[in-house]
């Protein structure tokens, strides 16, 4: 998926650059490695991945689907008509993640937390109306930032590195 991720991120960054120039503001560009790390954590790179949420979460939001594990309502807001189509899923996920990065003024940790538990949850924590983020989200952010690949040679493109599957026994950080 490396080339597809890079293409969608480049396309999105071009739009962001043009809009920022038009408005006279600094452009917050998205890194393809961050998107690849989100995909690795969310779906393990499996296009047909579908989450197994708790019965309460499933009743409220449904299941998350595809490479970037989008729920139907978010996918629809991002213009995705087929969550199983990898291009649409990545495009929608990139658009959503970019919006969260903008919402939190470039704070990638808050944006990633919001990608996982929703912006309402993050907003409640920031405002003090909620004590802390859910346990899953507190583990999610360091895992995603920790899987961002680092090239081992100058010729190696980090987007082409295969990600190891997430092992909850060893990869989840618990307080």
Just list the catalytic residues.
42
Category of 123 on φ-ψ map: left (φ > 0), alpha (ψ -120 to 50) or beta: alpha
How many Å apart are CA 41 and CA 62, to the nearest integer?
19
Contact 115, 100 (CB under 8 A): yes
In sequence order, the 6+-apart residues with CB closer than 8 A to the CB of 80 are: 70, 88, 89, 91, 92
Tokens representing 73 are 């309502």
Cα 14 to Cα 75: distance, rounded to the nearest angstrom: 22
Angle CA(63)–CA(66)–CA(69) in degrees, nearest 5? 55
């Amino acid at each position: 998926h490396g080339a597809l991720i890079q293409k969608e991120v480049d396309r999105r960054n071009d739009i962001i650059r043009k809009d920022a120039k038009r408005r006279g503001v600094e452009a917050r560009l998205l890194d393809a490695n961050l998107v690849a790390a989100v995909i690795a954590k969310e779906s393990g790179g499996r296009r047909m991945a579908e989450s197994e949420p708790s019965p309460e979460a499933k009743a409220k939001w449904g299941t998350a689907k595809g490479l970037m594990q989008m729920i139907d309502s978010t996918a629809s807001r991002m213009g995705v008509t087929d969550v199983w189509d990898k291009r649409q899923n990545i495009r929608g996920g990139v658009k959503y993640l970019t919006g969260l990065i903008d919402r939190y003024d470039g704070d990638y940790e808050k944006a990633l937390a919001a990608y996982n538990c929703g912006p309402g949850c993050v907003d409640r924590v920031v405002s003090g109306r909620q004590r802390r983020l859910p346990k899953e989200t507190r583990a999610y952010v360091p895992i995603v930032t920790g899987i961002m690949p680092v090239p081992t040679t100058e010729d190696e493109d980090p987007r082409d590195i295969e990600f190891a599957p997430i092992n909850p026994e060893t990869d989840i950080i618990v307080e």
